[in-house]
Amino acid sequence: MNILTKGVMQGLIGASGHMKMADVAMGVYKTNHNDGALGYAMDSMNRAAESSPEVGEALKQAQAEAKKQAKAEQEASLEKVRRQKAAEAKEENRAPAASPPADTIEIGAEGRKFCTKLFNESGAQHAGTAKAVMSEPKLYSPQGDIKVMESVLT
């Protein structure tokens, strides 16, 4: 928020105008030694001095309003960030449950029929159903070495 509000600007312009009028009146007094000009200069100086506290008060009010507005904007920004983080966390919690497990495949009855037909047409020998292969568990080192682990099932 801009702290140069209507009240601040009016006070500054008023004080500046009164000081300029006092300067003109002082110039007239110096050239003509006219006491009326001196009185007018003093009056303008007093009006400028009266405007100064009004400007100070308006400036304090504008600063307080700017501070309140900045705090409100900061709180709104923080709340927006909190909502975004909560939505992301909620989405992360939902994502694994919604996706099917990886590395699995199911072939339906139509797919099996199609595969059998393809094998028969291509002349490839169909081995039939696959046999379950059971091997000992293996542990791979970072260098690529294989260590056979004893079966836990036996």
Give pTM, 2 decimals: 0.40
Q: Kindly state whether residue 109 falls inside one of the protein's structural domains.
A: no
Asked whether residue 74 is assigned to any structural domain, the reply reads yes
In one-letter notation, the amino acid at residue 28 is V
149 falls within a domain: no
Do 31 and 61 touch, CB atoms closer than 8 A?
A: no
pLDDT tens digits along 87-141 = 888 887 765 544 555 666 788 888 888 878 877 776 655 555 556 666 777 777 8
C-alpha to C-alpha distance for 56 and 14, rounded to whole angstroms: 13
pLDDT score for 79: 93
The C-alpha atoms of residue 27 and residue 41 are separated, in whole angstroms, by 9
What stretches of the chain show up as alpha helix (H) in DSSP?
6-32, 35-98, 109-122
For residue 67, is pLDDT > 60? yes
Residue 141 lies in a domain: no
Point out which residues pair with 126 in neighbouring strands: none
Q: Is residue 105 part of a domain?
A: no
Residue 153 lies in a domain: no
Instruction: Count how many domains the chain has.
Output: 1
* Largest Cα–Cα separation, the chain: 127
- Neighbouring residues of 138: CB distance < 8 A, sequence distance ≥ 6: 146, 147, 148, 149
β partners of residue 139:
147
pLDDT of residue 74: 93
Distance CA 8, CA 52 (A): 10
Domain of 66, in residue numbers: 6-97
